[in-house]
């Protein structure tokens, strides 16, 4: 390679270009990792829930698992950023610094090689000049010698010409000898410099270039390893992220999710009871009998629940004016036979409507008194009575827990103030004990207020739990009574303690109806704010609800407040709550009640 300086120049330049090419590859890989991590974080941010601490949405295990997967994916994106940072610092940055140093070193070695080559060329020129001068002087000496010999052999030449030619010969011979010596010296010097150039200087420069190229190769090898190590370092953490995703997937519990749905939407309402059998054929049996007056069997005699005013859907006149009492329809229990002188029988209708309605109401279920506070513009429902029983119980329990936590905070604050006051009393220089009295008084007042709130909410909770337990007991007893007697269920689904209290004959006059009516006639009916059309039929067996038929038009007197119920009124004044999803509501501005 002693004469391959140009080729080595090209090779070292190719090595640097390849190094920079690999550095560009690493840079693009870093950009890919950074963009990947950024897109992953944006994806996590897009699907991560944005909820305030006040949200009370049910946390299903499938949702929690998905949120955990998002967190693990966010950690995975962080590891991709770590890979990019490690590659940028350990590989790309190192390559760029080394490439700069490599260019400087290569330039220095090439300059040294060129200087050595230039010095050798200069020595060769000096040697060549001395050689040409010696050659020229030799030719001049030969010419002088030929001229001297010619004059010396010429008999006609004078002695002075011969002597002059001889002196010229001696001069040329002397100059030729001097140029010979100079040429010999220059030749010796050039040979020495040429030997030094090819055996010492150039090999040393080439060795330095070789070492530089080998160091470049080693650096590339280290960068290749660092490139892989940057990825391998984060593999354990990435594996933990993936394991976390697997654990999140295994934590999904379908039974727990189902229970959450049940707890979230459980209303606590009692399912509607069985419809009684209504026997209208007894009159026919009496007519075709053998003429004896027989009393119908008490078993199975019922009031017609479809037309009785006392049914749940006709007894909600506590919202407004009481509907006018209607004459009861022809039922088996309202028929009484009487004999004429000729022995014929005919039915006599002897039902007193007012007493019939009030007696039915008295034997029915107790109504919800909290609906009286639902007038438009009235105070907020602090006891959550607008909610179904089960949801109301949950809300009350949550409020009691929050109040207990606040009471505990106030208690801790009171204890701290008392301790601080004791310290101030023992060490007056630390503070005035009287300055803590206002704060202590305020804390005690807050504690009393919280205790009253807790007591009030616990009373409401006890009321709700008592009603739920009563409904459960009543449902259990209804199943037993239905199997044994099948005749002790009231038209609205309630049950009496004595089977003899059921309507067996014409009701007697009592004084309770007037008192009962006065209790519900103190409020004016709410104005209608629109109307609605029933899309689906609704039974309305539960307390405070209003039965409706498909296609029936009702007045809307209060909108849905988020609990899924809308307050409506019939044309005859009956009011109650209907499911919002069962109706098509049309609100009207400046509308008034009918």
75 has a pLDDT exceeding 90 = yes
458 has a pLDDT exceeding 90 = no
Instruction: Kindly report the average pLDDT of the chain as a whole number.
Output: 76
Q: Same structural domain for residues 572 and 440?
A: no
Q: Same structural domain for residues 79 and 221?
A: yes
284 within domain boundaries: no
Q: Same structural domain for residues 423 and 536?
A: no
DSSP for 272-298, please give it: P-PPPP----HHHHHHTS-S---PPPS
Q: Distance (Å, rounded) from C-alpha 551 to C-alpha 533?
A: 6
Angle between helices 235-250 and 202-233 (to 10 degrees): 20
**What is the pLDDT confidence band of residue 351, given thresholds at 50, 70 and 90?**
very low
Q: Same structural domain for residues 100 and 219?
A: yes
Q: Specify the pLDDT at position 479.
A: 52
480 within domain boundaries: no
104 has a pLDDT exceeding 90 = yes
Q: Specify the pLDDT at position 424.
A: 82
**What is the pLDDT confidence band of residue 341, given thresholds at 50, 70 and 90?**
very low
Q: Specify the pLDDT at position 281.
A: 79
Mean per-residue pLDDT for 51-62?
66
Q: Specify the pLDDT at position 230.
A: 92
- Ranking 79-83, 124-128, 258-262, 529-533 by mean pLDDT, the lowest is 258-262
Q: Please give the residue that has the higher pLDDT: either 420 or 213.
A: 213
Token pair 């209208």 is found at: 280
Beta strands at 335-339 and 583-587: parallel, antiparallel or unpaired: unpaired
478 within domain boundaries: no
Q: Same structural domain for residues 180 and 251?
A: yes
153 has a pLDDT exceeding 70 = yes
Residue 172 φ/ψ, nearest 5 degrees = -65, -40
260 has a pLDDT exceeding 80 = yes
555 has a pLDDT exceeding 70 = yes
Q: Specify the pLDDT at position 55.
A: 53
Write the CB contacts of 235 (distance below 8 Å, at least 6 apart in sequence): none
495 within domain boundaries: no
Query: What are 534's two structure tokens?
Result: 């029933």
Q: Specify the pLDDT at position 265.
A: 79
Closest of 494, 466, 479 to residue 389, by C-alpha: 466
Q: Specify the pLDDT at position 391.
A: 78
Q: Specify the pLDDT at position 101.
A: 94
Q: Same structural domain for residues 123 and 216?
A: yes
**Tally of domains in the chain:** 3
- At 430 the three-state DSSP class reads helix
368 has a pLDDT exceeding 70 = no
Q: Which of 72-86, 418-432, 472-486 tops mean pLDDT?
A: 72-86
Q: Specify the pLDDT at position 329.
A: 41
58 has a pLDDT exceeding 60 = no
Residue 232 φ/ψ, nearest 5 degrees = -75, -30
570 has a pLDDT exceeding 50 = yes
On the CB side of 20, how many CA atoms lie within 13 Å of its CA?
11
Q: Give the CATH number, domain containing residue 561.
A: 2.30.30.40
Q: Same structural domain for residues 246 and 159?
A: yes
26 has a pLDDT exceeding 70 = yes
Closest of 129, 133, 137, 162 to residue 148, by C-alpha: 162
Q: Same structural domain for residues 174 and 28?
A: yes
Q: Same structural domain for residues 466 and 549?
A: no
- Ranking 135-139, 147-151, 381-385, 432-436 by mean pLDDT, the lowest is 381-385
Q: Same structural domain for residues 94 and 238?
A: yes
Domain span at residue 412? Answer: 389-470
Kindly state the percentage of the chain with pLDDT values over 90. 31
437 within domain boundaries: yes
Q: Same structural domain for residues 172 and 95?
A: yes
Q: Distance (Å, rounded) from C-alpha 10 to C-alpha 277?
A: 110
Among residues 260, 291, 318, the one where a domain terminates is 260
367 has a pLDDT exceeding 70 = no
Q: Distance (Å, rounded) from C-alpha 213 to C-alpha 220?
A: 11
Query: What are 4's two structure tokens?
Result: 């391959």
Q: Distance (Å, rounded) from C-alpha 209 to C-alpha 2?
A: 13
Phi/psi class of residue 135: alpha, beta or left (left: φ > 0; alpha: ψ in -120 to 50)?
Answer: alpha
Q: Distance (Å, rounded) from C-alpha 85 to C-alpha 76?
A: 14
Cβ distance 518 to 512 under 8 Å?
A: no
Q: Specify the pLDDT at position 312.
A: 39
Q: Give the CATH number, domain containing residue 237.
A: 1.20.1270.60
* pLDDT tens digits, one per residue of 577-586: 999 989 999 8
Q: Specify the pLDDT at position 309.
A: 37
Mean per-residue pLDDT for 28-35?
96
Distances in Å between the alpha carbon of 484 and those of 24, 26, 296, 414, 491? Answer: 91, 87, 19, 62, 18
Q: Same structural domain for residues 53 and 173?
A: yes
Among residues 227, 260, 293, the one where a domain terminates is 260
403 within domain boundaries: yes
Write the CB contacts of 374 (distance below 8 Å, at least 6 apart in sequence): 381, 386, 558, 567
Task: Tell how far CA 303 is from the center of its chain.
Answer: 57
**What is the pLDDT confidence band of residue 390, given thresholds at 50, 70 and 90?**
confident
Among residues 470, 486, 506, the one where a domain terminates is 470
Q: Give the CATH number, domain containing residue 440.
A: 1.10.287
Q: Please give the residue that has the higher pLDDT: either 225 or 506.
A: 225
311 has a pLDDT exceeding 50 = no
393 within domain boundaries: yes
Q: Please give the residue that has the higher pLDDT: either 350 or 276.
A: 276
296 within domain boundaries: no
Beta strands at 530-534 and 583-587: parallel, antiparallel or unpaired: antiparallel
Closest of 538, 581, 579, 530 to residue 557, by C-alpha: 530
């Amino acid at each position: 390679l002693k004469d391959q300086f140009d080729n080595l120049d090209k090779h070292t330049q190719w090595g640097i270009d390849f190094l920079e090419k690999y550095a560009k590859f690493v840079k693009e890989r870093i950009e890919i990792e950074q963009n990947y991590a950024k897109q992953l974080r944006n994806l996590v941010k897009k699907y991560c829930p944005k909820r305030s601490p006040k949200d009370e949405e049910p946390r299903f295990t499938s949702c929690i698992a998905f949120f955990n997967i998002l967190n693990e994916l966010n950690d995975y994106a962080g590891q991709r950023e770590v890979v990019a940072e490690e590659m940028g610092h350990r590989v790309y940055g190192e390559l760029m610094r080394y490439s700069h140093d490599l260019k400087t070193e290569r330039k220095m070695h090439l300059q040294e090689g060129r200087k050595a080559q230039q010095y050798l060329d200069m020595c060769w020129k000096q040697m060549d000049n001395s050689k040409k001068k010696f050659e020229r002087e030799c030719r001049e000496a030969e010419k002088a010698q030929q001229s001297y010999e010619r004059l010396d052999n010429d008999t006609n030449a004078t002695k002075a010409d011969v002597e002059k030619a001889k002196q010229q010969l001696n001069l040329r011979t002397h100059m030729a000898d001097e140029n010979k010596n100079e040429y010999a010296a220059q030749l010796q010097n050039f040979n020495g410099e040429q030997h030094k150039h090819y055996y010492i200087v150039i090999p040393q420069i080439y060795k330095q270039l070789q070492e530089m190229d080998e160091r470049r190769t080693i650096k590339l090898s280290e960068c290749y390893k660092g490139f892989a190590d940057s990825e391998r370092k984060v593999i354990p953490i990435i594996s933990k992220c993936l394991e976390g995703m697997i654990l999140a997937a295994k934590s999904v519990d379908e039974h727990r999710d189902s229970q959450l749905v049940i707890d979230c939407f459980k209303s606590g309402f009692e399912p509607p009871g069985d419809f009684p059998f209504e026997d209208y054929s007894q009159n026919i049996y009496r007519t075709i009998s053998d003429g004896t007056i027989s009393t119908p069997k008490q078993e199975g005699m019922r009031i017609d629940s479809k037309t009785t005013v006392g049914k749940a859907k006709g007894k909600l006149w506590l919202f407004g004016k009481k509907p006018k009492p209607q004459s009861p329809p022809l039922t088996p229990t309202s028929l009484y036979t009487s004999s004429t002188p000729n022995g014929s029988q005919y039915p006599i209708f002897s039902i007193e409507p007012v007493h019939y309605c009030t007696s039915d109401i008295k034997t029915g279920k107790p109504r919800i008194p909290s609906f009286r506070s639902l007038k438009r513009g009235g105070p907020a429902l602090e006891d959550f009575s607008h909610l179904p029983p089960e949801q109301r119980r949950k809300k009350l329990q949550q409020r009691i827990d929050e109040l207990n936590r606040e009471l505990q905070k106030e208690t801790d604050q009171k204890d701290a103030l008392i301790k601080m006051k004791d310290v101030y009393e023992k060490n007056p220089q630390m503070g005035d004990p009287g300055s803590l009295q206002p704060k202590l008084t305020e804390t005690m007042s807050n504690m009393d207020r919280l205790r009253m709130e807790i007591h009030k909410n616990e009373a409401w909770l006890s009321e709700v739990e008592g009603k739920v337990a009563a409904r459960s007991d009543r449902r259990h007893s209804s199943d037993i009574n239905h199997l044994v007697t099948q005749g002790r269920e009231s038209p609205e689904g309630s049950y009496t303690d004595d089977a003899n209290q059921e309507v067996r004959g014409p009701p007697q006059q009592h004084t309770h109806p007037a008192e009962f009516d006065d209790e519900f006639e103190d409020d004016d009916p709410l104005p209608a704010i629109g109307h609605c059309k029933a899309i689906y039929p609704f039974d309305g067996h539960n307390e405070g609800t209003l039965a409706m038929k498909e296609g029936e038009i009702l007045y809307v007197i209060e909108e849905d407040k988020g609990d899924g119920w809308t307050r409506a009124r019939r044309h005859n004044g009956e009011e109650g709550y209907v499911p919002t999803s069962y109706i098509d509501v049309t609100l009207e501005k400046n509308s008034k009640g009918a």
